Amino acid sequence: MSANIQQNETVRLRIDGMHCAGCVGSVEKALKRTPGVAQAMVSLAGGSALVRGSGLNAQELASVVSQTGFDATPASTRNAAADLADRLGKDDGKQARAWRWRVMLGVALWLPMELAHWFGHGLGLHMTSGAGLAVALAVGTIAQVFIGSAFYRSAWSAARRKATNMDTLVSLGSASAYALSIGHAALIFTGQGEHPTYFIEATGLLTLISLGHWLERRAKRGTTKALRELAAMQPTEAVVLAHEQDTSGATVPAHDVLPGDFVLVRVGDRCPVDGELLGPASLDESAVTGESVPVEKQAGDTVMAGSVAVGSPAIVRATTDGAGGTLGRMVALVADALASKADVQRLADKVSSIFVPLAIGIALVSFTVWFFLPSGGLAKAVVTAATVLVISCPCALGLATPLAVMVGTGAAGRRGILVRSANALERAAIARIALLDKTGTITSGLPVVHEDTPNSLLETAASLACRSSHPLSKAIVRAADQRGLQYTPAADAREEPGKGVTGTVHGQHANLISPDAARREGFEFDDAQLDDGPASVVIVGGQFRGVVHFREELRAGAGEFVDELANLGIEARVLTGDREGPAQRLADRIGLDRSRVRAGLSPQGKVDHVREASKDGVVLMVGDGINDAPALAAANAAGGVGVAIDAGSNIALESANAIIPGDRPLAVADLVRIGRATRRGIRQNLFLAFVYNASAIPVAALGLLGEHGPVVAAAAMAISDLCVVGNAVRIRLVIDKQTAR
């Protein structure tokens, strides 16, 4: 199915009850079989699904998921991503509290029994006969009902859809140990000799695994904090004015604001929408750009949702609705990234899908062998099989990639970098070539007057340009003001489209015109005079006075940006549709070898260069304009990453796999560092998980963990989970250190 159809409609679902990669696989398969679905990405850590296709019905998709045994409901349609973020905070907290309650109950039941087992003989307490056994039976039964029920419900849900999951292993292990103990207790109570019971072990097993689940929930709540914080920045209410002169307005839900509405942003409040300022204002844009210094803006300037009014209120004409502004887009992109999967995660999911049935098979073989061995028997066989089932739980394997991706996307989000997919992080980590569009990426796109322009020439030009709205005229006036020059507006000034400005300056007829217009007037110039770039010619009294040269303003940190990429082992190249001369002089200004500049490129030319460069390694294509959109899409298709500048066109933003703040090109280097740290973390986590399972299962199957094997196995599984969680926390610290400035 085409990519266009995939992006046609998007539905987000809340899903409860998933516990492992096997659960994720079951839900994804069910969704992908649904007519109209082109893509389904299910997030274990986020408890959500992102479905794309055409003709989608959210309720029908939720019903499909529910038929697989999980609770599913559609996210709100007006602001689905923010709704998901809110649910992540509430549900993770609720589930964490539920698991904590189970842990507390388990410890209260298990610890006294364990102490009595080891030290009770001296006090006359015997847990294998009489009253002691009766207490053990009661406590073990309470644990099975109130703690084990969560695992049994999950395992039964999987069995109903003819599948298995992590809780299948836990349930089989715990239930088999408990059932064997019930049988042996019956023999003891009827006077048929001494037999071992495992009520203590079964209770300890459920307690320790519940401890692992509680710690996982707490860790997942921490890794989704960035998404929740972004969502929390979106105002829930907005003050909408009836007209520009209205001073009171009406308070409405923020998601009800429509394009064209006049919105009052009071001092200290956040703007609920993207829009256009109707008057001067000071705005704190740190939530979106990361810059803590307030920005002074004028009427007509763009305001981003999430900006805070400082000093005085601001009136904004909305250009988006309440859910479609910059912050809403940021939340949606982070949510989508959490639902996506890296290539390595797909491999882990495939392994997990066959791992549980394999573990059950190994447990059956282990049970059979130990049952018939002279040194074995029924009790030894059951305990060994239960140990295999518990110790082989692939919980750490299921968490390995999602936790690392959450940390990576969260760290990127805190720095204003929006990542659409886990694959974008993984590809950025191995990028070798960065293709940089010139205008909007290296330069701001605004013309500036060359610093060598004489003051006298600039003063005359400013007199003619001060009433013109042309970008070059504005640049002249801006430069004159910055130099503190005194100029008087030209008398009888008039602007002629395609030519320039004419008027009277100090009693003489003067012209500020283009070089082509000057040539038509009979003036001759050589290439050196025009500097092969934008220029305006000043003529006074019919005499040539000079040429005002322009060049594009460099973005702050542009030169440092190229050096940062070089330090990361990434070759930077500049792509531009501009002429060769200005392009090469730009290379000199940013310290880039001229051979790495490709000038005179059409949009198709940029696409061709992306494809050619992709043969030499993974490519980062960075651009901001409509003409960059094909190249950004080509980079994604070639296995690279299209990186859009957030201040650019919507078409460019939609074509990219990552978005960086408009005023921070250095964020590209941060994206690479975050990608590398995340990629290392994923592989470290998967290594820990695979090594744990590969080494633990043989140890358990050989019966080397003894009669307390199930409890030891539960503790080992919890420790493996903690290793993965701890490594995810370490990744965040590494990223913070590497991107600190």
Tens-digit pLDDT profile for residues 593-639: 888 888 877 777 888 888 899 888 899 998 876 567 678 878 877 88
Burial class (CB in 10 A: 0-12, 13-18, 19+), 13: buried
The string of pLDDT tens digits covering residues 102-131 is: 889 988 988 888 777 666 554 445 556 677
Query: What token pair was written down for 314?
Result: 């601001």
Residue 290 is predicted with a pLDDT of 44
Written as one string, the DSSP assignment of 674-726 is: HHHHHHHHHHHHHHHHHHHHHHHHHHHHTTTTGGGHHHHHHHHHHHHHHHHHH
What's the token pair of residue 649?
Answer: 């066109």
Q: Which of 331, 443, 413 is nearest to 670 (CA)?
A: 413
Q: Would the pLDDT of 289 be above 60?
A: no
- The pLDDT > 90 percentage for the chain reads 8
Q: What is the pLDDT of residue 267?
A: 86
Average pLDDT over residues 225-248: 74
- Above pLDDT 70, what percent of the chain? 77
User: Is residue 285 predicted with pLDDT exceeding 90?
Assistant: no
Contact 661, 417 (CB under 8 A): yes
Q: Dig out the tokens for 382 from the structure.
A: 């059951």
**Judging by DSSP bridges, how do beta strands 571-575 and 431-437 pair with one another?**
parallel
Q: Is the pLDDT of residue 713 over 80?
A: no
CA angle 255, 261, 265 (to 5 degrees): 75
Cβ(43)–Cβ(105) under 8 Å? no
pLDDT value at position 459? Answer: 92
DSSP per-residue codes, 304-327: -TT-EEESS-EEEEESS-TTSSHH
Q: Examine the pLDDT at 677 and tell me if it is beyond 60.
A: yes
Helix or strand run (H / E) with residue 741: none
Beta-bridged to residue 317, according to DSSP, are: 262, 276
With 60 as the cut, is the pLDDT of residue 446 above it? yes
Q: Is 261 one of the annotated active-site residues of the chain?
A: no
What tens digit of pLDDT does each residue of 641-667 get? 888 877 554 555 666 778 887 667 778
Residue for token pair 């940013």:
590
Query: Which 3 state secondary structure label does DSSP give 48?
Result: strand
Token pair 């914080």: residue = 229
Q: pLDDT higher for 195 or 239?
A: 239
Question: Residue 303: is its pLDDT beyond 80?
Answer: yes
Which helix (H) or strand (E) segment holds residue 606: the answer is: helix 603-613
CA 609 and chain centroid, separation: 28
Taking alpha carbons only, the member of 139, 144, 141, 136 closest to residue 189 is: 136
550 phi and psi, to 5 degrees?
-125, 155
The single-letter code of the amino acid at 558 is A
Q: From CA 20, how far away is CA 71, in angstroms rounded?
A: 15
pLDDT digits (tens, 9 = 90+) for 365-405: 988 999 898 888 888 888 888 778 777 766 666 666 667 77
> Residue 153's closest CA among 21, 12, 14, 23?
23
Provide the pLDDT for residue 292.
Answer: 46
183 or 47: whose pLDDT is higher? Answer: 183
From 338, 333, 330, 331, select the one nearest 406 (Cα to Cα). 338
- Alpha carbons 609 and 621: distance in angstroms, whole number: 10
Strand partners, 40: 51
Give residue 219's pLDDT band: very low, low, confident or very high (50, 70, 90).
low
- Tens digit of each residue's pLDDT (9 = 90 or more) over 528-544: 555 556 788 999 988 88
Tell me the C-alpha to C-alpha distance, in Å, between residue 555 and each of 128, 518, 586, 588: 77, 32, 12, 15
Q: Which of 230, 227, 231 is nearest to 82 (CA)?
A: 231
Beta bridge partners of 39: 52
Top-confidence range, 434-438, 579-583, 644-648, 670-674: 670-674
Cα separation, 310 vs 327, whole angstroms: 19
The H or E element containing residue 237 is: strand 237-241
> Helix, strand or coil for residue 421?
coil
What distance in Å separates the CA atoms of residue 478 and residue 515, rounded to the nearest whole number? 21
Backbone dihedral region of 95: left (phi > 0), alpha (psi from -120 to 50 degrees) or beta?
alpha
User: Which residue shows structure tokens 């048929």?
Assistant: 192
Q: What's the average model confidence in pLDDT over 539-559?
A: 83
The DSSP secondary structure of 121-170, one letter per residue, reads GGGT--TTSHHHHHHHHHHHHHHHHHTHHHHHHHHHHHHHTT---HHHHH
Residue 422 and residue 401 in contact, taking contact as beta carbons nearer than 8 Å: yes
- Which tens digits make up the pLDDT trace of 422-433? 778 888 989 999
Average pLDDT, the chain: 78
What domains can be seen in the chain, in order of their start residue? 3-75 (3.30.70.100), 87-226+340-408+677-738 (no CATH), 235-329 (2.70.150.10), 422-442+555-656 (3.40.50.1000), 446-552 (3.40.1110.10)
Q: What is the pLDDT of residue 627?
A: 60
Asked whether residue 222 carries a pLDDT value surpassing 60, the answer given is no
Does 96 have pLDDT greater than 60?
Answer: yes
Residue 341, pLDDT above cutoff 80 = no
pLDDT band at 299 (very low <50, low <70, confident <90, very high): confident
The predicted structure's pLDDT at residue 528:
56
Q: Tokens 């940390």: give the residue.
A: 407
Tokens of 647: 């201040």
Across the beta sheet with 237-241, what order do the strands follow?
Answer: 250-253, 237-241, 262-265, 314-318, 275-277, 302-303
Structure tokens at 477: 């006036």
Of 153-162, 459-468, 575-584, which one has max mean pLDDT?
459-468
Closest CA to 483 of 446, 512, 458, 448: 458
Residue 27 structure tokens: 């839900």
Q: Is the pLDDT of residue 715 over 80?
A: no
pLDDT value for 111: 82
Are the C-beta atoms of 540 and 512 separated by less than 8 Å? no
> What residues have CB less than 8 Å from 267, skipping those under 6 apart?
309, 310, 311, 312, 313
Q: What is the pLDDT of residue 432?
A: 93
CA 364, 365, 371, 376 dihedral sign is negative
Give the DSSP H/E element, type plus range, for residue 216. Answer: helix 199-223
Three-state SS for 187-215 is: HHHCCCCCCCCCHHHHHHHHHHHHHHHHH
Amino acid at position 733, single letter? L
Alpha-carbon distance of 474 to 608, in angstroms, equals 36
Cα gap 676→10, rounded to integer Å: 30
Of 660, 437, 665, 662, the closest CA to residue 565 belongs to 665
Say which amino acid occupies 155: A
- Candidates 524, 523, 546, 522; CA nearest to 535 is 546
Structure tokens at 279: 């008057």
Lowest mean pLDDT among 303-317, 360-374, 566-580, 689-703: 689-703
- Paired tokens of 1: 């199915």
Instruction: Give the Cα separation of 598 and 686 in Å (integer).
Output: 41
Catalytic residue among 437, 578, 624, 663: 437
Q: Are 406 and 224 in contact (CB under 8 A)?
A: yes
E strands within 375-521? 418-419, 431-437, 443-449, 491-496, 500-505, 508-513
How many whole angstroms separate alpha carbon 537 and alpha carbon 528?
A: 14
Better pLDDT: 234 or 450: 450
Interatomic CA distance for residues 650 and 624, integer angstroms:
9
The answer on pLDDT for 93 being more than 70 is no
Residue 141 confidence (pLDDT): 92
- Block residue for tokens 């909305």: 318
